[in-house]
Amino acid sequence: MINWIDHHETLVLALGVASVVVFVGSLLLMPALIVRIPADYFANDERPPSRWTGVNPVARIVLRIGKNLLGCVFILAGIAMLALPGQGVLTIVLGLLLVDGPGKYRFERWLVRRPWVCRSINWLRRRRGREPLNVGHPTA
């Protein structure tokens, strides 16, 4: 293993820098995104209509492709962070939340309904003056 690292110092350094960038980026970006979620977003069994439905279809497709590519990058970076410094599992979850797929809304609701996740999200929202998320059932 040490021999492989010696032969790939540039790659290891690049992965380490990317790990730090994603770590710091997630610390800055996640709270800003969490407070933008409408309070009743997770209250329904079906995903609410997207705000992007009125946007030009070509722009919507380009944004969707970009979001999915970014999600894949986060998933791969998170897998790398399982061995490198950084928040590997959190980065993988963030990537999964960005990638479109069947059952994504159900997964998001399941995740947000975990009492410790809901408490953390609502704590961030309270600090920013936003009302707590309505997740469809009382949380502990």
Domain membership flag for residue 137:
no
Instruction: Report yes or no on 134 lying in a domain.
Output: no
Write the Ramachandran bin of 94: left for phi over 0, alpha for psi from -120 to 50, otherwise beta.
Answer: alpha
Range of the domain at 37: 2-127
Residue 27 maps to a domain: yes
pLDDT tens digits, 17-64: 877 887 787 778 878 888 888 888 888 888 877 777 777 889 888 988
9, two tokens: 């110092």
Give the pTM: 0.65
Residue 138 has pLDDT above 60, yes or no: no
Answer whether residue 138 is part of any domain: no
Number of domains composing the chain: 1
pLDDT in tens, 50-106: 777 777 889 888 988 999 999 998 898 888 878 776 677 878 888 888 898 888 888
Using only C-alpha atoms, what is the Rg of the chain? 18
